[in-house]
Structure 1
Amino acid sequence: MIEDSDGFNPFVNKRSGGIRHAGVLLLYSVILHELAHGWVAYKMGDETAKWLGRLTLNPIKHLDPIGSLMLLIIGFGWAKPVPVNLENIPAPQRRKGLILVSAAGVTANIIIAFIALLLWRLLSPEPGGMVYQVLYTLSYINILLAAFNLIPIPPLDGSKILMGFTPESFNRVLHQIEPFGFFIVLGLLLVGALNPVINVFQSGIISFISLFLPS
């Protein structure tokens, strides 16, 4: 675990710190998550995201009406998924492409969290100050986003990563579930069934990031 001299732990303490710009940090964290999907797909031969103007940090290109409304109401939302057409990736690399493209968003969130925590460690900002709150919130949001997206239920990234390793017969089942996946995930979240899974992924991400932080 990573704590400062006052025992503050950005992974255990779940307070937002009253930060006014948490919504902006969340918005751009989600945008970078989606942008990473499109960028990796583009590098592997699929230019769909580029054609649709989604390889940009312009938030207007990424805003989802419902996700934006939820952000305003409950403080947590989402962006429009970046469209990816795996058929544009050469067949021999298609499974590899599925794994890399699907993992790109989570990887982006982990990198953002690492940078925030590295700065938090190096700068040792004053507890309660704006820099302290920004770095804490940025790290927490991105670790949560990465952990949530690793859940292997369609349409979350974890299911797509899993499909890169599983047989087609199993993947067809996941494809059949995908139209209902949002409601499945929402229902499981409401009853708290996904909390243990998210906590496990969060702990793993924290341990991984900690390996690269200075002591």
Structure 2
Amino acid sequence: MTETLILAAILIPCLIIAIVFHEVAHGWAALALGDPTAKEKRRLSFNPVRHVDPVGTLLVPGALALFGGPVFGWAKPVPVNPRRLDNPRYGMMAVAAAGPGMNIALAFLAAIIVGIAAAFATNWGSSLPEWALTAFTYFILINTFLALFNLLPIPPFDGSHILGGLLPRKWARHWQKLQALGMTLIFVIIAAAWIFPDARWIERTIWPPVMWIMEFFVGIAQSVELALS
């Protein structure tokens, strides 16, 4: 029980930071490209409450955890008005990429910090506390997973907006119509993962690149530690 509480105390702040920075990055990118909608709606805030979706952040993941399903959820999307962007087609691509890009940047920063902290600990004849190492590891893992998961070309994930901007205009119009089916597709994914757990589609599609990038960040942390030791 104690270990579960400690793990929750580590995971929840890591998840909140990753999600909030992800959403705010969308708003920052939109503002920089001409759309102040997120700013007007007071969504360029690091207050987690402003990004909570009662259904996606609380109800769905809570119910899934309670009934033993795959825990899955989402935050309230930052509002973006493509018509107010300087270049709606490519602006939406940049806004969509900003969220995953922020998560990768956070993971990179965490790798550098843990490398510096480990070096200072070594120089003082000690080592990083286990809880700190666990926290940094989960923080990097959560941000890496969130970035790659959102890059899936499935509406309404960020990857679908990026793909829509790359498609020829004729195809992009048809692709845009699929965005309305986004929430339906999300629930289909949840149901499929629950009904067919042996399929392990997440482990087979997202997990290999997540682990590869994790190894890259671990290498950065080790390089920083060696350079400063």
TM-score between the two structures when normalised by the length of structure 2: 0.75
Q: 1:65-214 alignment to 2 at 5 Å?
A: 65-69=54-58, 70-72=60-62, 74=65, 76-90=72-86, 93-124=87-118, 126=127, 129-189=130-190, 190=193, 191=196, 192-203=200-211, 205-206=213-214, 209=217
Amino acid at match of 1:163: G
- Report how far residue 117 of structure 1 moved: 1.9
Q: Over the residues paired in the alignment, what is the CA RMSD in angstroms?
A: 2.7
> 5+ unaligned residues in a row in structure 2: which ranges?
66-70, 122-126, 224-229
Q: Does 1:42 align with 2:36?
A: no
1:203 and 1:163, CA in 2 relative to 1: closer, same or farther beyond 3 A? farther
Amino acid at match of 2:26: H
Which string of whole-angstrom CA distances, capped at 9 and with x for unpartnered residues, describes residues 159-195 of structure 1? Answer: 1111121112222232222222233244335143344
For the residues of structure 2 that align with 1:113 and 1:154, how far apart are their CA atoms? 25
Q: Please, which moves more after superposition, 76-85 or 98-107?
A: 76-85
Which string of whole-angstrom CA distances, capped at 9 and with x for unpartnered residues, describes residues 84-127 of structure 1? Answer: 0111112xx33321221110000110011111222223323757
Tell me how many residue pairs correspond in the alignment.
199
For the residues of structure 2 that align with 1:211 and 1:40, how far apart are their CA atoms? 30
> 5+ unaligned residues in a row in structure 1: which ranges?
1-14
For the residues of structure 1 that align with 2:55 and 2:134, how far apart are their CA atoms? 27
1:139 and 1:160, CA in 2 relative to 1: closer, same or farther beyond 3 A? same
1:122 and 1:55, CA in 2 relative to 1: closer, same or farther beyond 3 A? same
Q: Is the 8 A contact 1:26 1:141 kept in 2?
A: yes
For the residues of structure 1 that align with 2:216 and 2:177, how far apart are their CA atoms? 33
Q: Is the 8 A contact 1:147 1:202 kept in 2?
A: yes
Q: What SS does structure 1 have at the residue aligned with 2:176?
A: helix
Percent of aligned pairs with the same amino acid: 34
TM-score between the two structures when normalised by the length of structure 1: 0.80
Return the match for 1:51 from 40, 47, 53.
40
More helix by share: 2
For the residues of structure 2 that align with 1:142 and 1:68, how far apart are their CA atoms? 17
